[in-house]
Structure 1
């Protein structure tokens, strides 16, 4: 089984700007998020921008070699989203190696996925270290050209993930002695269709699902459960 994929295959033309109008990294981030919001209207671009800028205050994401990788982990997205913008003349931004910042790559990932983000960031860093790639990107005229240049570089991303990489770690649980009313209320509160049942030492004993509650003849909660917004 092929466990890798080319970095270029992870980008979409609708999230690429081959000629940024922005003059600073902050403005470039806003320009890319505006494009993202335009093509994915359900995403709260303002909230994501605040998350990215908060991280920028903690650590400058300018990588060097003309690249920056601002990023955020947020449940505003369901999967890894990559936005890429290129400044032909360079952005007004301090960089660790004094090479003008020309390429801004935004990485957005759900809070429960981390490995794919790290693998993708590592692949972009490898791509950035080849000086020819920067010049090739700056000469690109269209979004399709940008993606083709990255694809032709043959940089690979590990794509095989395990259950551990995407599992939820902080989950709501119930105990064997909790009433079914309490279980139903917890499902509604946390928008779940099933919950783990654990003992006093947090050892897993089993699972209880919304269908189990219905089958247990809880007519007062049937309507409540039918209105749950399932997380699974």
Structure 2
């Protein structure tokens, strides 16, 4: 279905004056509530949108913000768009296009597919330039029709994955690996060569296991130890051993075209919270259990 099919020219507007995020949201709510009957409107609806914003950011690095709210007793999907001459600051990101989505509580799939289409659009600089040349709502809808921006039927891993994730080379030392984990605040990452060919995964448990001798793994517990002596091996070898020495290669990565439920199944089946996403042998992203929780369950 075309993205333009979800739009109404009356809820698309252009703001030339400097505004705050709250002022932009308020105007969008006002325009929607003038022509649609919703279970909640006015300040109550605005508060719902701001409360959802407080849970996790709706701003994206491409300069687009997609606030949204899902409400009970509402069987429709409404979209309002605001093109800003003066960017608003949203969590440190300058935003020039705000797109508000209002939908019902059971439409996570549709919402995610609309967001996916909007994010794809926001990365197309030529398409955005064409939209910025238009100065009325009907023109925006017509331009989107001409651009043939479609909303997919299926939500895939590619729609919610982390693209361009932090990764590490097989030749990196364990010290370099631990520094990457600390710098990016991650507990695991894909292993790739210089051409981004996928080689495996490595996580903090692989790293810590270097300091635990094999014979200790056969013991029921290590409560009798009172010092860090076993881990001294890790400290002593972190500039000698490499990622290749400790990485895992057993688990198959996922594909960007795989469904979300496939990702959830693999996470539960393998007791893993992170999976690499690989297309044609190349790393394209990672998906985590928290991505599914935040972007699907809590969307």
CA drift at 1:80: 0.9
The ranges of structure 1 where at least 4 consecutive aligned residues each deviate by more than 4 angstroms after the TM superposition are: none
Please say if residues 86 and 137 of structure 1, whose CA atoms lie closer than 8 Å, have aligned partners that are also in contact.
Answer: no
Q: Give 1 or 2 for the bigger CA radius of gyration.
A: 2
Match of 1:151 in 2: 145
Question: Do the aligned partners of 1:68 and 1:105 also contact (CA within 8 Å) in 2?
Answer: yes
**2:46 counterpart of 1:49:** yes
Structure 2 unmatched runs, 5+: 156-299
Q: Secondary structure at the match of 1:73?
A: strand
Which structure 1 residue ranges, 5 or more long, are not aligned? 162-232
SS at match of 2:90: coil
Contact in 2 for aligned 1:22/1:28 (Cα 8 Å):
no
Following superposition, the deviation at residue 10 of structure 1 comes to: 1.7
Equivalent positions of 1:89-100 (< 5 A) are 89-96=86-93, 100=94
Work out which of the residue numbers 33, 36, 60 in structure 2 matches 1:37.
33
Q: In the alignment, is the contact (CA less than 8 A) between 1:44 and 1:76 conserved in 2? A: no
Deviation at 1:6, TM superposition (A): 1.6
Q: Distance in 1 between matches of 2:92 and 2:128?
A: 15
Inter-CA distance 118–8: structure 2 relative to 1 (3 Å threshold): same
Rounded to whole Å, the distance in 1 between the matches of 2:142 and 2:18 is 23
Asked which structure has the greater RCO (Cα within 8 Å, sep 6+), the reply is: 1
**What are the residue-to-residue correspondences of 1:39-188 with 2, within 5 Å?**
39-45=35-41, 46-75=43-72, 77-96=74-93, 100-159=94-153
- 1:23 lines up with 2:19 in the alignment: yes
Return the TM-score normalized by structure 2: 0.47
> Scaled by the length of structure 1, what TM-score is found?
0.60
- Cα offset for 1:26? 1.9
Q: 1:60 to 1:138 in 2, by over 3 A?
A: same
Tell me how far 1:95 sits from its aligned partner. Answer: 4.1
Q: How far does residue 47 in structure 1 lie from its aligned partner after superposition? A: 2.3
